[in-house]
Structure 1
Amino acid sequence: MNGLSVRLFGIPSVHRSGRETKRIPAKSLELFCFLLVHHRRRYSRELLSDFLWPDETGTLSKRYLRQALWKLNAVLNPASDSMGKELVDNSSPGWLQINSHAVAWTDVREFDQAYSGLLTNVGERLSDSDGRALENAVGLYRGDLLAGWPQEWCLPERTRFEQAYLMMLEQLVAWCRVRQLYLKGVGYGETALRYDPARESTHRQLMGLHHEVGNRGEAVRQFHLCADVLSREFGVRPSAQTRELYEQILRDEAPPTRTVAMPLVRREPEAVPALHARLDEIQASLQRLMALFDLDPRNVG
């Protein structure tokens, strides 16, 4: 693959024209990964410098940000590079955003696009091409986002991507069930439970799949696995919906077909970093000022 390709699921890696680059300074890499994860947003230089160097003075943290940007371009986008594109777009004074045209491919961007396309649909209604695209997307998830990184800002983002991944897997289970791809559907469901053993909706899907292929004993076993993990982890019983399905399986009745709803994962988790909240406040104030004085945003900064 020509240009830059970046994987952020699992251990992060950066490849340039197919060869891995390992000489990126730690803070430059953190800045790069932060902007890639939040590729849809712009950030002020002041907020980024305070966020990445919270223990330094404002003047020093801003200098460190300039140095991190310079080192990032020096390693990944040297002057001899024919691409001739800055990795970080700083065309708006005082603001930074990843330049998506300078980075050929990232797994998080592909994953995000696949998930966004799924929000208006559900598993049973996915076309064959949509299902295959979803299969490709879940294949990108090689592990936790930026696995092993202790930075606090990574934690809510890991949760967001993991929840999106689990929902994608559930949609694939439903897609496989409609197409009678039962073994593949069971595989996707079991993968989801390895990440979240107490995911009751996935247990129900597997109960239904096992029962449909005539394996009532396995369907019953799946219910008891669900009941055990819910009791052990949360001290609760399975929901009425799960118990109802279990009773139908015991009576060997076919449960009614139910569309698997696709609840929306918030783009910004509840535990949003303070950076985001402060940025939103500043952006709102800036917009009000521009409207009041009829200012051109390019002249503000």
Structure 2
Amino acid sequence: MSDLYEKVESGDYEKAARILEIEQSRQTEAGNHLLSEFLGVARHICLACHQSHADVDWHRRAQVMAGSREEEMKSQLQVLLEVMSANNLNHHPPDDRFGNSSDLHGNSDSGRHGMLKLIQSMISNLHHFGSVHQFGTIGPNNSSYSVDKYRQILKPHSNEMEWSSQVTEQNADLKVYCLGRFRVFAHDKLICNWPSLKGKSIFKYLIEHNKTAVSKEILMDRFWPDTDPDSARRNLHQAIYNIRQAFHQHQLKIRPIIFENDHYGINPELKIWLDFEEFEWRLNRGRQMESVNQMALAISEYRTAEELYQGDFLEEDPYEEWPVRKREQLRVDYINIADLLSSWHQEMKDYNPAIVYCRKILEKDDCFEAAHRRLMQCHQANGQPGLAVRQYHLCVEKLKNELEVSPSPETRSLYETITHASLGLGKALKITM
């Protein structure tokens, strides 16, 4: 258990959880059910700690954003109190600081319409504040886009992912591939003229957060952490301008990035297709089909999702911290899909595809014991016990080097079964000879 304590002390909760999982399996095999329960609880705590690490950065950004919102609301409140304290609105129109003399439809009128514009603006801002960090009203003169429209388009983390039924890889204005090599196509033309690596990274960040708006303070802190605020602000404005110019050169009529209330975001009017969201949508569809026992349809969706996964999320940015949480989530989802597909092919006695999927799993997690066992079983079923034995020894090596543990009783038992069967076959062959 000393190794477990070391993992916990160093904050490596994921490996600690793996060690606990293996130990729990051993205790279950030995009939120590109470200890097994304790180990299971400890494993869940480790996983929760691992998730908390990923949440820390999100909460830090949220704190910065909350402070910015409070200051803006405070200034709005002060303006409103000043107007109310005048106490003579029925006799004197407000001054020009609350708007010009045009009403909401562009007609000439008294300053009363300026007050209406002020009230409308404040209501819009309240919608914005209430939604934490979604856009309220955005567009030319803040009049082209309604709050309800943005609520509909910018639904955070919708389980149904309604966009997928509206935007496809074929009809999208913009196609973005984040799984594997990062690529962006505007009307089927590859964007190559990125103004800078920093600008490209900012666009990637906004793509990951495409259903929410991101405050400029977060972007400044994220991409220019050691720069004074004025310089960081200028750098951000220049980077956003350069990104827009790059897309403009590819005849993209809709501005890809919009700005309102000191927040940037991907324009929801843009028909955009994202491979990682399509992957998630296919995964959810597969689960829905599986839940109603439509396995053929479920397998079809899982296969499509597996094919979409051409590599880890933004794998070209291994040293950036901000994509890690999404990358790990998608990697786990992919491993689960490949595990399910390999299991299904094994049950169908279609061993070669099962072997392919198991190898893909081990490329992502070479300590995934279930994949090692399934490979051993498939090689044995294919009449290749030597490959099964070799796979066991590879499993032993990986577990020792990565986690400093031995294979589970289940894996060792399978190995013994295969070797005994091989010895029996060898003796039978000698007798017949």
TM-score for the superposition, normalised by structure 2: 0.50
C-alpha displacement of 1:249:
4.1
Quote the residue 2:367 is aligned against: 198
C-alpha displacement of 1:37:
2.3
Tell me the SS of whatever aligns to 2:366. Answer: coil
Change (3 A) 1:104 1:148: closer
Kindly report which structure 2 residues correspond to 1:19-34, keeping only aligned pairs within 5 A, or say none.
19-26=189-196, 27-34=198-205
Tell me the SS of whatever aligns to 1:55. Answer: coil
The CA distance in 2 between the partners of 1:43 and 1:173, in whole Å, is: 40
The CA distance in 1 between the partners of 2:277 and 2:287, in whole Å, is: 16
C-alpha displacement of 1:238:
0.1
The CA distance in 1 between the partners of 2:217 and 2:187, in whole Å, is: 33
The CA distance in 1 between the partners of 2:299 and 2:268, in whole Å, is: 26
Quote the residue 2:186 is aligned against: 16
Q: Which has the higher helix share?
A: 2
The CA distance in 2 between the partners of 1:151 and 1:81, in whole Å, is: 29
Q: Work out whether 1:151 is the aligned partner of 2:317.
A: no
5+ unaligned residues in a row in structure 1: which ranges? 253-301
Q: Work out whether 1:104 is the aligned partner of 2:250.
A: no
Q: Kindly, what percent of the aligned residue pairs are identical? A: 27
Post-superposition Cα deviations, 1:117-166, rounded to whole Å, max 9, x if no partner, equal 4567879x672232222222222333343333343324444433333322
Task: Determine which of 222, 235, 244 is the counterpart of 1:64.
Answer: 235
Quote the residue 1:172 is aligned against: 341
Change (3 A) 1:41 1:101: same
Change (3 A) 1:140 1:234: same
Change (3 A) 1:119 1:238: farther
Quote the residue 1:225 is aligned against: 394
Aligned-partner residue type, residue 7 of structure 1: Y
Q: Work out whether 1:244 is the aligned partner of 2:408.
A: no
TM-score for the superposition, normalised by structure 1: 0.69
Post-superposition Cα deviations, 1:257-285, rounded to whole Å, max 9, x if no partner, equal xxxxxxxxxxxxxxxxxxxxxxxxxxxxx
Kindly report which structure 2 residues correspond to 1:53-132, keeping only aligned pairs within 5 A, or say none.
53-77=224-248, 81-82=252-253, 84=254, 86-90=255-259, 93-99=261-267, 101-117=269-285, 127-132=295-300
The CA distance in 2 between the partners of 1:29 and 1:226, in whole Å, is: 40
- Max Rg structure: 2
Tell me the SS of whatever aligns to 1:96. Answer: strand
The CA distance in 1 between the partners of 2:268 and 2:383, in whole Å, is: 50
Change (3 A) 1:176 1:99: farther
Aligned-partner residue type, residue 210 of structure 1: H
Are the counterparts in 1 of residues 176 and 273 from structure 2 also a CA contact under 8 Å? Answer: yes
Which region of structure 1 is more displaced relative to structure 2, 33-42 or 17-26? 33-42
5+ unaligned residues in a row in structure 2: which ranges? 1-169, 422-433
C-alpha displacement of 1:237:
0.8
Aligned-partner residue type, residue 187 of structure 1: V
Tell me the SS of whatever aligns to 2:231. Answer: helix
Aligned-partner residue type, residue 64 of structure 1: N
Kindly report which structure 2 residues correspond to 1:241-280, keeping only aligned pairs within 5 A, or say none.
241-250=410-419
Change (3 A) 1:81 1:18: closer
Change (3 A) 1:215 1:121: farther
Are the counterparts in 1 of residues 302 and 341 from structure 2 also a CA contact under 8 Å? Answer: yes
Tell me the SS of whatever aligns to 2:338. Answer: helix
Are the counterparts in 2 of residues 9 and 142 from structure 1 also a CA contact under 8 Å? Answer: yes
C-alpha displacement of 1:234:
3.0
Tell me the SS of whatever aligns to 2:179. Answer: coil
Tell me the SS of whatever aligns to 1:202. Answer: helix
Aligned-partner residue type, residue 181 of structure 1: D
Are the counterparts in 1 of residues 302 and 337 from structure 2 also a CA contact under 8 Å? Answer: yes
The CA distance in 1 between the partners of 2:289 and 2:386, in whole Å, is: 32
Aligned-partner residue type, residue 194 of structure 1: E
Q: Work out whether 1:36 is the aligned partner of 2:36.
A: no
C-alpha displacement of 1:235:
2.8
The CA distance in 2 between the partners of 1:249 and 1:13, in whole Å, is: 46
The CA distance in 2 between the partners of 1:101 and 1:114, in whole Å, is: 23
Quote the residue 1:133 is aligned against: 301
Q: Work out whether 1:189 is the aligned partner of 2:189.
A: no
The CA distance in 1 between the partners of 2:290 and 2:384, in whole Å, is: 26
Are the counterparts in 2 of residues 122 and 171 from structure 1 also a CA contact under 8 Å? Answer: no
Quote the residue 1:45 is aligned against: 216
Are the counterparts in 2 of residues 5 and 16 from structure 1 also a CA contact under 8 Å? Answer: yes
Aligned-partner residue type, residue 146 of structure 1: L
Are the counterparts in 1 of residues 358 and 374 from structure 2 also a CA contact under 8 Å? Answer: yes
Quote the residue 1:295 is aligned against: none
Aligned-partner residue type, residue 97 of structure 1: G
Q: How many residues align?
A: 248
Change (3 A) 1:243 1:79: closer
Quote the residue 2:19 is aligned against: none
